[in-house]
Amino acid sequence: MGVMGLCPNACTRLPIRVIRLQRRFNFFLPAPAPSLFWLKVRGFPGIASIFTRAASYDAVSSPDDEVSTSTMCNQAPFSGLEDVMLGYIFGQRKVTEVAHAVWKKVVRKGDVVIDATCGNGFDTLAMLRLVADENSCRGHVYAMDVQKEALESTSFLLDRSVSAGERKLVELYAMCHTKMEELVHIGDVIRLVAFNLGYLPGGDKTLKTLPDTTLLALEAATRVVAPGGSLISVVCYLGHSGGREEFKTVESFAAGLPIDGWTCCKLQTVNRPLAPVLVLLYRK
């Protein structure tokens, strides 16, 4: 009661005060979504809390503001992530889908991106659809993998999923992701580097990414991504041998990046210890 400034003998005025406060501050709007999940954050909290910025539009609305709540939410910079995040929380979406939804808020048509572990090509295809701009012949995807089988799967998926013009915007390389800097041309503005660690689904499980080479690749990625709003996206798998050690390497690397230039966070299901973990490194 102290928050409202009421005295014990002023209870008869409570309904009037509640009505006034409701009109002024919109107390009874739906609760913001961040309370539904744990998003562990290091750095600038405005980027890490996906829904709070959208919710803040309602929190700061003045009584005289006639713009509807729905209109303001549609104009929020993170609009579109809510369904994917809630789907993940309710066990209906995969962590890779969350990663793709975040990429959409960073990557634009004409950008240059890198798929550091192309695997079966699903990330490569998603990245291509974000950057492809056939009208201006801009946008480019560098995709790499050490396994010939992965490159063939990616090429097949692209050939049957996109136009010939879009297909030309992807270059596939049989190489280790530690050497990604060799692919970047002078003038390229790299907006996204994506890692999907572990082994090739359906392939040889003994051929997998390793903590030491992943660390070198992450260091290279921090050197190639452009300042001013770019992203390194890492999906870590803990269920296979060495997976947890690799995740700890990624987590430790992210924790060591300077907070004045980077925001680093992870999305993890705490009651599923072997579930994949999404680690996002955002360069300010």
- Evaluate whether residue 46 is within a structural domain: no
Q: Which domain holds residue 279?
A: 108-283
Instruction: Give the pLDDT confidence score for residue 137 in this predicted structure.
Output: 75
For the chain, the domain total comes to 1
pTM of the entire structure?
A: 0.74
* pLDDT at site 78: 65
Q: In sequence order, which residues have a C-beta less than 8 Å from that of residue 186 and are 6 or more positions away?
A: none
Residue 8 inside a domain? The answer is no
Distance CA 144, CA 70 (A): 42
Other CB atoms within 10 A of residue 264 CB: 24
Q: What CATH number has the domain bearing residue 275?
A: 3.40.50.150
User: Is 145 part of a structural domain of the chain?
Assistant: yes
Residue 180: inside a domain, yes or no?
yes
In a domain, 50, yes or no: no
Q: How far is the C-alpha of 245 from the C-alpha of 102, rounded, in Å?
A: 25
Q: Where are the alpha helices (DSSP H) in 7-147?
A: 14-25, 45-48, 52-59, 69-74, 81-89, 95-103, 122-131
Does some domain include residue 89? no
Residue 64's SS3 state is coil
pLDDT of residue 21: 42
In a domain, residue 119? The reply is yes
Q: Is residue 90 part of a domain?
A: no
Assigned token pair, 272: 């599923």
Torsion on CA atoms 150, 155, 157, 159, rounded to nearest 10: -170
- What per-residue confidence (pLDDT) applies to 72? 36
> What string of pLDDT tens digits covers the 284 residues of the chain?
444 444 444 444 444 444 444 444 343 344 444 333 334 444 433 334 333 333 333 333 333 443 333 333 344 556 678 899 999 999 999 999 999 999 999 999 999 999 999 999 999 999 999 999 877 778 999 999 999 999 999 999 999 999 999 999 999 999 999 999 999 998 899 999 999 999 999 888 899 999 999 999 999 999 999 999 999 999 999 999 999 999 999 999 999 999 999 999 999 999 999 999 999 999 99
